[in-house]
Chains A and B, each alone.
Chain A
Amino acid sequence: SQQGEEDPQALSIQEGENATMNCSYKTSINNLQWYRQNSGRGLVHLILIRSNEREKHSGRLRVTLDTSKKSSSLLITASRAADTASYFCVTGAYSGAGSYQLTFGKGTKLSVIP
């Protein structure tokens, strides 16, 4: 079953603008990660935020986590054409059977127009 759901599915902005992508999930998590995927390429890890953290920064990226609302957001500031990619949120949690699972959302497709 899908744990993380990104919103919007697609986003188109002008270069220099900020891009905000959201992720909602259903069950308790231990951490949440964001990955980027350029078309047809492998996924690249961007940032990990633990369940006891509320905000994390990495360069032009800012991630927030609200465990009470079961949601996270990824903000890319001053976007560049090179940021054009799909962005996935990945939740990490123990399953009912006790194994630890990572679950990917379907992604937000970001287009940054030069």
Chain B
Amino acid sequence: DSGVTQTPKHLITATGQRVTLRCSPRSGDLSVYWYQQSLDQGLQFLIQYYNGEERAKGNILERFSAQQFPDLHSELNLSSLELGDSALYFCASSVRGRGIDSGELFFGEGSRLTVL
């Protein structure tokens, strides 16, 4: 058990809909990362938050947004869903988020999104 909790584990929805994925990082970890994993694209970095502030942005679509709350949990919002958004969405946390060594990431078990 990594200590990172993601909900829901599975989600099935229709095109055009909006969903929210939730992540609770390990106790004490200030950084939260979101990744998308699909069969043909591998693991793609979406966005990172550190102590409530956006730290880095990857290949995140404009239809997607995220935030990190004062209690450090994070939510990833996916809107106007398309078939191609079907994927596993992972959240990871780490203690650090600044400086040379961001160190080890602790991953949740992921949220599997299926868009029909």
Contacts A88-B43, A101-B56, A106-B42: A42 and B90 contacting too (C-beta < 8 A)? yes
Q: Which residue of A lies closest to B40 (CB)?
A: A106
Docked CA distance A31–B99 (Å): 12
A41 contacts B102, CB within 8 Å? no
B58 to chain A, nearest CB (A): 8
Chain A contact-residue range equals 20 to 34
B107 contacts A99, CB within 8 Å? no
> Which of A43-51, A56-64, A72-80 forms part of the interface with chain B?
A43-51
A100 contacts B109, CB within 8 Å? no
Chain B residues 91-116 with CB under 8 Å of chain A are 92, 98-110, 112
Chain B contact-residue range equals 20 to 34
Max chain A Cβ within 10 angstroms of own Cβ: one of B2, B33, B98, B100:
B100
Chain B residues 27-48 with CB under 8 Å of chain A are 33, 35, 42-43, 45
Cβ of A33 within 8 Å of any chain B Cβ, yes or no, is yes
Q: Which residue of B lies closest to A93 (CB)?
A: B100
B98 to chain A, nearest CB (A): 8
Cβ of B81 within 8 Å of any chain A Cβ, yes or no, is no
Docked CA distance A102–B109 (Å): 19
Cβ of A104 within 8 Å of any chain B Cβ, yes or no, is yes
B45 contacts A103, CB within 8 Å? yes
A42 contacts B107, CB within 8 Å? yes
Q: Which residues of B contact A45 (CB under 8 A)?
A: 104-106
Q: Which residues of B contact A42 (CB under 8 A)?
A: 2, 4, 90, 107-110
9 contacts between A and B (CB under 8 A): A2-B42, A33-B104, A41-B110, A43-B90, A43-B107, A45-B106, A92-B102, A101-B56, A103-B45
Given contacts A42-B107, A99-B56, 19 further A-B pairs with CB under 8 A are: A2-B42, A33-B105, A40-B112, A42-B4, A42-B108, A43-B43, A43-B92, A44-B2, A45-B104, A45-B106, A48-B103, A88-B43, A92-B101, A101-B45, A102-B33, A102-B102, A105-B42, A106-B42, A107-B42
